[in-house]
């Protein structure tokens, strides 16, 4: 008995190189649909669908990393996003007696009700307690058992890995309950995650994996009444280890204090990209100046210069322009600056890239490959 084989479509009869070129020009959602059409088309789509992957610091994320090691897509991954969350304190006696007592919960619930919220719009005390306790127990299990060290094995298994993105996330959406500030292990959780990732990158490089790009997304330092540099020493050292031998640094949505911290140490960076940042001119200038000697290009989009207006001390935000950046760096206004893609934009070129030196032609941006990276990230793939 013979089994009929479906007739190949015209697209499937194309040479592999041409098929890849066609797929590379399709929107992400069309690539996903196309990958379901046949085995050959799926194979052609894999290199794009799995070019960028995202995993989170959680038990489910660790399990997915184990599954990744057993899969056949490791050879396609070039960009890896690791979503890292705050680490919660383990003192739950203090949670009940000091952080959120039953009495304070009743007072907050009453305030919300008086403000017009319905009773079913806020959670019961035990629901909050169980949620926080469950998250904390899961986190401590991962840290105590060194489960997140699997990153080292994962990075070593990704031969095409070039970029590691660290996305800093809130562990609790507290809806006004104000749990997070008192429950989070400040600075220590940054140090833990940065050390784990740094170790994984160093081990991968030893195995010949050319990781040259680091992206820091939504990285914010905790607020202090007074700036105490000594408290941030371990964190500064962790950042220094993370950015060692990195050629491209991208920051998006980071706080001005992170820029200040990054300005304390010069790296041999060739490319700096900044997006969604608002900070005083001095902070931004120092950030760029620190690595001015090695920098060949600076990309920027949605960057605001923070200033103070008049005696009423109202804050103003001036969009960073190419001429302002040239003035900050003391370079000629004629320095090459061109429109460039930014990872937060879907189709538009609203970013800018300032080019320096004789090697500027080697740092072209806006290629279809980079755009596809960014489309996949926004699509949540």
pLDDT digits (tens, 9 = 90+) for 112-149: 778 887 777 777 778 888 888 888 889 989 999 999 99
Write down the H helix ranges in 158-280.
Answer: 180-183, 188-206, 233-242, 256-262
pLDDT at residue number 178: 52
Q: Please tell me the distance from the alpha carbon of residue 144 to that of residue 256, in angstroms, as a whole number.
A: 33
pLDDT digits (tens, 9 = 90+) for 2-34: 444 455 577 777 887 888 788 888 887 788 888
Q: Please tell me the distance from the alpha carbon of residue 165 to that of residue 159, in angstroms, as a whole number.
A: 17
Taking residue 226's Cβ as centre, other Cβ atoms within 10 Å add up to 4
Q: What angle do CA 253, 29, 212 make, to 5 degrees?
A: 45
Mean pLDDT across the stretch 281-290?
91
In this predicted model, which residue has the larger pLDDT, 330 or 251? 251
Reply yes or no on whether the pLDDT at 158 is more than 70. Answer: yes
Reply yes or no on whether the pLDDT at 309 is more than 80. Answer: no
pTM: 0.81
pLDDT confidence tier of residue 380, bands split at 50, 70 and 90? very low
Q: Is the dihedral of CA 364, 368, 372, 375 positive or negative?
A: positive
Reply yes or no on whether the pLDDT at 345 is more than 60. Answer: yes
pLDDT digits (tens, 9 = 90+) for 211-268: 999 999 999 886 554 444 446 677 888 999 999 999 999 999 999 989 998 998 888 8
Phi-psi region of 68 (alpha: psi -120 to 50; beta: other; left: phi over 0): alpha
Q: Please tell me the distance from the alpha carbon of residue 351 to that of residue 368, in angstroms, as a whole number.
A: 16
Mean pLDDT across the stretch 160-186?
76
The values of phi and psi at residue 147, to 5°, are: -65, -30
Q: Are 335 and 355 in contact (CB under 8 A)?
A: yes
**The two three-digit tokens of residue 55, written as one number:** 């995993």
pLDDT at residue number 366: 40
pLDDT at residue number 346: 57
Q: Are 354 and 336 in contact (CB under 8 A)?
A: yes
pLDDT confidence tier of residue 338, bands split at 50, 70 and 90? confident
Q: Which of 28-42, 193-207, 220-234, 361-375 has the highest mean pLDDT?
A: 193-207
Q: Please tell me the distance from the alpha carbon of residue 101 to that of residue 99, in angstroms, as a whole number.
A: 6
| Half-sphere exposure in the Cβ direction for 107 (13 Å, CA) | 5
In b/e form, how buried is each residue of 275-311, taking b as 16+ CB within 10 angstroms? Answer: bbbbbbeebbbbbbbbbbebbbbbbbbbbbbbeeeee
pLDDT at residue number 265: 84
In this predicted model, which residue has the larger pLDDT, 377 or 137? 137
Taking residue 180's Cβ as centre, other Cβ atoms within 10 Å add up to 15
Closest CA to 171 of 183, 160, 155, 157: 183
């Amino acid at each position: 008995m013979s089994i009929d084989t479906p007739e190949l479509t015209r697209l499937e009869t194309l040479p592999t190189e041409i098929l890849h070129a066609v797929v590379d020009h399709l929107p992400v959602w069309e690539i996903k649909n196309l990958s379901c059409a046949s085995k050959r088309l799926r194979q052609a789509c894999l290199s794009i669908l799995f070019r960028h992957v995202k995993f989170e610091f959680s038990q489910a994320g660790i399990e997915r990393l184990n599954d990744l090691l057993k899969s056949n897509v490791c050879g396609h991954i070039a960009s890896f996003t690791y979503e890292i969350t705050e680490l919660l304190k383990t003192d739950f006696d203090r949670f009940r007696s000091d952080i959120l007592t039953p009495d304070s919960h009743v007072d907050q619930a009453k305030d919300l009700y008086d403000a017009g919220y319905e009773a079913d719009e806020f959670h019961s005390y035990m629901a909050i307690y169980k949620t926080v306790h469950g998250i904390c127990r899961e986190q401590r299990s991962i840290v105590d058992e060194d489960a997140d060290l699997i990153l080292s094995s994962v990075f070593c298994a990704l031969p095409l890995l070039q970029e590691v993105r660290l996305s800093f996330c809130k562990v609790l959406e507290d809806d006004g309950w104000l749990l997070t500030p008192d429950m989070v292990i400040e600075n220590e959780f940054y140090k833990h995650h940065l050390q784990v990732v740094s170790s994984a990158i160093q081990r991968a490089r030893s195995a010949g994996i050319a990781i040259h790009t680091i992206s820091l997304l939504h990285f914010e330092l905790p607020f202090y009444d007074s700036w105490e540099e000594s408290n941030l020493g371990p964190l500064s050292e962790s950042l220094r280890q993370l950015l060692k031998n990195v050629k491209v640094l991208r920051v998006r949505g980071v706080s001005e204090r992170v820029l200040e911290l990054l300005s304390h140490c010069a790296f041999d960076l060739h490319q700096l990209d900044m997006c969604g940042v608002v900070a005083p001119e001095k902070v931004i200038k120092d950030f760029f100046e620190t690595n001015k000697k090695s920098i060949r290009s600076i990309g920027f989009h949605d960057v605001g210069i923070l200033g103070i207006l008049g005696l009423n001390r109202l804050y103003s935000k001036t969009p960073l322009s190419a001429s302002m950046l040239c003035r900050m760096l003391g370079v000629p206004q004629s320095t090459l600056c061109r429109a460039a893609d930014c990872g937060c934009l879907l189709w538009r070129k609203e970013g800018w890239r300032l080019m320096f030196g004789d090697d500027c032609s080697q740092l072209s941006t806006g290629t279809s490959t980079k755009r596809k990276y960014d489309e996949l990230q926004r699509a949540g793939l």
